[in-house]
Structure formats: C-alpha cells, structure tokens
Amino acid sequence: MSKHSAGLLLYRWRSGGLEVLLVHPGGPFWAGKDDGAWSIPKGEFNPPEDPLAAAYREFNEETSCLAAGGVIRLTSLKQPSGKLIQAWALKGDCDAEAIHSNTFTLEWPPRSGHLQEFPEVDRAAWFSLEVARKKIIKGQAGFLEELGYLVQDSRP
C-alpha cells in the first residue's frame, strides 16, 4: 500500500514577483544539503482522513503558522518512492524566520543507542519561482510549475 502525503504551497506577490514558502527538512541527513532539498510543508495521512484537513494540520505542525482561505487544488504528484503527494496552493503570508516545527526522535549516531530529538523542519524561506525551482526536491517541482501557470494572471 502506497503512502499518502498532503501539503500546502503558500504563495504571495511581492514587487519582485511571485514568491513561494518552502521548508528545509531537519535532522542530520539533511543538514548539509540545500539545492534540491527543500519541500512544501506536508506530511503523511491515512485515508479516510480528509487530505485537505491533513494539509492544513501538517502546515501548522511544520511552520507554526495558521493557514486559512480559499485553496487551489494542484495535480497530485507520485514520488519515485511511490508516495503520492496531494497539494493545494494558498495565497497568504507567514514569517519564515519565526517558524517553529514539531519534532521527531532518531537514534543518532546510528547504532549508538542514543536517541536524539530533531525538528521536522529546521528552517523556512520565501523564494522566487526561479530560485524555488533549484531549491525544491525534484519530485515536487511540478507543483511550482502548475502554480506559476494558474496564478500568472492574478497578480494584484
């Protein structure tokens, strides 16, 4: 059975154009990675949970920002791992420098018997679409492309 994730792609307009909020995964595996390591705020859910409700929950857990408002359904993307990500775009704002994420426990270093707690997300940032295309995990790039297409004529 494949895993399911749901997330929100927060976007805003600035004088320089369209910007999106991406998050960087926490923990030792991602510590030295930047380009190709960022993600939309998302997380796993188990059907029959409503995917959009899960997307809002995960956004809040990973950023501590409360998202609200009308959403744009994006095309789901199947990842190389087989996981299916359902995502929605949402116009809004969030102080990327003030995020606070939930945590996970990991044996670190491996086979040490020592458990450590790490944030699921260690930082967030707003990026132009051009920069976001370099930062985002390859399997999620389609969300950026679709968002750019869908909102190109909605600039305030």
pTM: 0.94
| Residues 11-47: tens digit of each pLDDT | 999 988 999 999 999 999 999 999 999 999 999 999 8
* Cα separation, 14 vs 26, whole angstroms: 28
The domain total for the chain is 1
| Residue 22 falls inside a structural domain | yes
Q: What is the pLDDT of residue 2?
A: 67
Backbone angles phi, psi at 72, to 5 degrees: -115, 120
Q: What is the pLDDT of residue 156?
A: 65
pLDDT band at 152 (very low <50, low <70, confident <90, very high): confident
Q: What is the pLDDT of residue 1?
A: 53
| Residue 72 falls inside a structural domain | yes
Hey, is 19 helix, strand or coil? strand
| Residue 73 falls inside a structural domain | yes
Q: If you search the block for the tokens 């369209």, which residue do you land on?
A: 18
| Residues 125-142: tens digit of each pLDDT | 999 999 999 999 999 999
Q: What is the pLDDT of residue 105?
A: 95
DSSP 8-state class, residue 39: B
Q: What is the pLDDT of residue 154?
A: 72
Q: What is the pLDDT of residue 146?
A: 97
| Residues 67-114: tens digit of each pLDDT | 988 999 999 999 988 999 999 999 999 999 999 999 999 999 999 999
CA-to-CA separations, 64 to 5, 41, 45, in angstroms, rounded: 18, 11, 18
Question: Tokens representing 105?
Answer: 């426990």
* Cα separation, 133 vs 153, whole angstroms: 20
84 CA to centre of own chain: 14
For residue 88, what is the domain's CATH number? 3.90.79.10
| Domain, as residue range, for 102 | 4-151
| Residue 61 falls inside a structural domain | yes
| Residue 156 falls inside a structural domain | no
Residue 60: CB atoms within 10 A of its CB come to 15
Q: What is the pLDDT of residue 15?
A: 86
* Cα separation, 146 vs 29, whole angstroms: 29
